[in-house]
């Protein structure tokens, strides 16, 4: 199967979905917000975007199933290939009118990532990758940065909105990164964070309590751009492990060592 060609088609589907999000952003009313859980927002835009994606992706690869965030009816898993979909990563940003939110879709064969796209809606940046074919932004090749150490790095993270029992560990890790780097940024979309690592804008990214649809496409982007992605303390599967450390590869060990000083839970 030609995964590079599939990633081209996937990019077109995600761009179409992004156009819908952009259109709705102009007139969005906060009264349309629902809560899936504590501080976990969802809107009709998330749900309708997912439906658009499911319909479009069925045409790209009819035999593939779906792993979705919003549970679109009829979007069931398949045995071999599955699309892993986050229709609007950064919903809270979208709701508040902050300009970083993405469509994120990865394709897995079993547990192996083979294609992925992160489309950053406001900047109109389409990050695309396919297994063995490299990574691109708006069809220009991208690569992770060549910064060799944490001291000269810019790091991204995500703030937890659940599992507050881990807050003390997290804040100590955050403080350590703040002292040892050029700074830490929290832009509110894990998909964008990973895409920006792939593009060399961040040297590293770490976050816990993530879902597969938050990170599937971004993990492949980083790897195809020459970077490394693991769990916090070990080299386990970040797609299912709910912890992600992504980097340019050169600062990865320093990042894991920094986390290891204070992090006590292996999820």
**What CATH number has the domain bearing residue 23?**
3.30.540.10
Q: Say whether pLDDT at 40 is over 90.
A: no
> Which residues touch 30 (CB under 8 Å, ≥6 apart)?
95
Which pLDDT band holds residue 145 (cuts at 50, 70, 90)?
very high
Per-residue pLDDT tens digits for 93-136: 998 899 999 999 999 999 999 999 999 999 999 999 999 999 99
Domain count, the chain: 2
Mean pLDDT for 134-146 is: 98
192 pLDDT exceeds 90? yes
CATH code for the domain of 168: 3.40.190.80
pLDDT at position 27 is 84
Structure tokens at 95: 């709701």
If one counts every other C-beta atom within 10 angstroms of the C-beta of residue 183, the result is 10
pLDDT of residue 38: 43
**Chain segment 7-32, per-residue pLDDT in tens:** 999 999 999 999 999 998 888 766 65
- Specify the pTM: 0.93
HSE, side-chain direction, 13 A CA sphere, residue 87:
30
| Residue 69 labeled ligand binder | yes
The predicted-structure confidence for 229-243, as pLDDT tens digits, reads as follows: 999 988 888 888 789
Q: Is 35 annotated as a binding residue?
A: no
Of residues 112, 123, 129, the one with CA closest to residue 226: 129
**For position 66, what pLDDT does the model report?**
95
**86 annotated ligand-binding residue:** yes
Range of the domain at 67: 3-141
Mean confidence (pLDDT) of the chain: 91
Q: From CA 22, how far away is CA 149, in angstroms rounded?
A: 38
Other CB atoms within 10 A of residue 256 CB: 20
Tell me: do 226 and 125 sit in the same domain: no
**Same domain membership, residue 191 and residue 115:** no
CA 182 centroid distance within chain: 23
pLDDT tens digits for range 200-231? 999 999 999 899 999 999 999 999 999 999 99
In DSSP terms, which residues pair with 185 in a beta bridge?
A: 156
Q: Please tell me whether residues 77 and 110 are part of one structural domain.
A: yes
């Amino acid at each position: 199967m030609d995964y590079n060609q599939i990633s081209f088609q996937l990019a077109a589907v995600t761009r179409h979905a992004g156009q819908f999000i952009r259109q709705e952003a102009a007139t969005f009313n906060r009264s349309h917000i629902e809560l899936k859980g504590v501080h976990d927002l969802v809107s009709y835009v998330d749900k309708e975007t997912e439906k658009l994606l499911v319909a479009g992706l069925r045409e790209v690869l009819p035999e593939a199933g779906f792993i979705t965030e919003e549970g679109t009816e009829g979007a069931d898993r398949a045995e071999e290939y599955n699309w892993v979909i986050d229709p609007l990563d950064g919903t809270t940003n979208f709701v508040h009118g902050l300009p970083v939110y993405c469509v994120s879709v990865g394709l897995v064969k079993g547990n192996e990532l083979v294609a992925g796209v992160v489309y950053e809606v406001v900047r109109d940046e389409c990050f695309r990758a396919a297994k063995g074919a490299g990574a691109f932004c708006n069809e220009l090749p991208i690569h992770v940065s060549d910064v060799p150490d944490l001291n000269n790095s810019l790091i991204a993270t995500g703030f937890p909105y659940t599992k507050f029992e881990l807050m003390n560990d997290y804040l100590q890790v955050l403080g350590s990164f703040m002292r040892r780097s050029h700074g830490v940024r929290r832009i509110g979309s894990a998909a964008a964070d990973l895409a920006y690592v792939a593009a060399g804008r961040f040297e590293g990214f770490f976050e816990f309590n993530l879902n597969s649809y938050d990170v599937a496409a971004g993990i492949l982007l980083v790897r195809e751009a020459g970077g490394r992605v693991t769990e916090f303390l070990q080299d386990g599967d970040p797609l299912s492990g709910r912890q992600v450390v992504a980097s340019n590869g050169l600062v990865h060990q320093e990042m894991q060592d920094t986390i290891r000083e204070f992090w006590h839970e292996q999820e």
